[in-house]
Chain A
Amino acid sequence: MMSQLLSYLSLPLVHLILSLVVILAFLGVNGIVLIYVERKVAGFIQRRPGPYEVGPWGLLQPLADALKLLSKQLVTPMGADKILFWAAPILSFAPVVICFMPMPVSPMFTGMEMNLGLILILAFTSLNVLALCLAGWSSNNKYSLLGAARAVSQSVAYEIPLLITVLAIAFQTGSLNLSEIVASQTKGIWSWNIFVQPIAFIIYIIAVTAETNRAPFDLPEAESELTAGFHTEYAGMHFGLFFLAEYSYMIVVCAVATVLFLGGWHGPFLSGPFWFILKTYALILVLMWFRWTFPRVRFDQLLNICWKWLIPLSLINLVLTALLVKIVR
């Protein structure tokens, strides 16, 4: 009985479906945990308690919120493009699930071993902006449309330094396979890419903060200027899906940063998936810390940071990496 079950597990199709189910469950739980953590971190930084009414230490607050979102009526505004309005939140969330497939959480837990894992993740994360555009346009609301326009110019700009820095790491490893990139950082802490490529790490973190529309780069949904930006007209679980997608993208980019720069599942002792998750959530805490520390930048400042600083720096970093790799080999 047991051995038969195990033999089913080794079938590629069963493996695929099983990993998809595990990823979906993980993303749901992750969303709930991150909402709670974000509120508590915000409260801590702003010297207030954060949620504390529902359950011990407010632990049940995100569950109550999720229930509220699930039970709310889904409203379509007048004059909205119905099909696209409904499709946009789904299109925002669906690609994230695929982004987790090649993630090497540990040598045992990899959804799908893939030679082009890095490109797969980059390709499917770039779909999010499309969903934001459709949401903003189909809502038939000027704030939504403005938010969508901002989302496009922001993410088109920040995708360039992101791709170039990731390319530098790929040059150095000579592979786009995430497992191989992790395997190249096994020789102790000092072989982690964060110490080999510190500039690339800084550029990567700034670029992904902008790509995931987090403060200080949250201009597409800047609540003090645009009500709520692209998701102004969304309520109930439509909004919930956008929210879930945002937190899922956060964990995708942090997991990729863990793989590229922090040695994946390797640790100073007891290497294993435990380290992968620890590093990923530590990076997420750093992103939250950013959010509640820096004020929102102006739009021209945002584009200047990208075009005048990040892109030239990342290009220099790429050329230097290529030169050094050529000399060392």
Chain B
Amino acid sequence: MSMMEYLAYAAFGLYLFLIVAGGLAAVLSKNLIRSLVGLIMTLFGVAGMYFLMSAPFIALMQILIYVGAVSVLIFFAIMLTRAPGGESGIEGSTPKALKRGLLALATALMPAVILGAIIIRKTPETLPLKPETALTVLGEFLTGPFALSFELISVVLFVAMAGAVLLGFERRKSE
């Protein structure tokens, strides 16, 4: 194994740790902002995974849009709704809370167990890493075979924006 291969494994481990630790932090912390930081960690880990799969464009878009814009908007929403302490309504270790926690754990583990069983049964072949797809090819795919889904996404965005503008105007009228 060459040096770069070792590094790739190390990077994989690091990203995996970021994803799992971020997810746990997002779920377990009682403070909304800390949860958000956990979410950001997970998003970073996923972006790193995209890099490892030689899809740098998607990785950078993940950082630009999810980390740079969406999580900042979530932060803004938290600040505007005035949840400074962000205490969520979790009671201590009552039996009810324990039961709830166990149920949550079971729900979270179920897909992992099923998927893990399938992967252990039928180990997929390791495919050689494909070279980086050129941006022009990606663009042609988006406007060619995937044009319909691409346009549908833009319709969703348009509806969201139109709704926001409409709500803003209605509020101004009522004032």
Contacts and interface: CB of A to CB of B under 8 A. Distances in A.
Contacts of B56: 114-116
Given A13-B4, A127-B67, A81 B135 contact: no
A315 to B, nearest CB: 14
A230 B56 CA distance: 33
A130 B135 contact: no
Interface in B16-43: 31, 33-34, 37, 40
Contacts of B34: 81, 83-84
A123 B31 contact: no
A176 B135 contact: yes
B63 to A, nearest CB: 4
B44 to A, nearest CB: 10
A156 B75 contact: no
Contact of A130 (B31, B40, B61, B79): B40
A19 to B, nearest CB: 16
B83 to A, nearest CB: 11
A296 B67 CA distance: 29
Contact of B68 (A126, A134, A145, A153): A126
Interface residues of B, number: 27
A130 B132 contact: no
B64 interface: yes
Given A148-B79, A153-B76, A130 B57 contact: no
A146 B76 CA distance: 11
B72 interface: yes
Nearest to A126: B68
Contacts of A138: 33
A133 interface: yes
Interface string A109-145: 0000011100110111011011001100110000001
A38 interface: no
Interface of B: 3-4, 7, 31, 33-34, 37, 40, 56-57, 60-61, 63-64, 67-69, 71-73, 75-76, 79, 84, 132, 134-135
6 contacts: A84-B34, A122-B64, A123-B60, A130-B68, A134-B37, A137-B33
Interface of A: 12-13, 81, 83-84, 114-116, 119-120, 122-124, 126-127, 129-130, 133-134, 137-138, 145, 148-149, 152-153, 155-156, 159, 176
Leading 9 A-B pairs by shortest Cβ distance: A126-B68, A123-B64, A123-B63, A119-B60, A123-B60, A152-B76, A133-B75, A116-B56, A149-B79
Given A84-B34, A130-B40, A152-B79, 17 more contacts: A83-B34, A84-B33, A115-B132, A116-B135, A119-B60, A119-B64, A122-B64, A123-B60, A126-B67, A127-B63, A127-B68, A130-B68, A134-B33, A134-B37, A145-B79, A156-B72, A159-B68
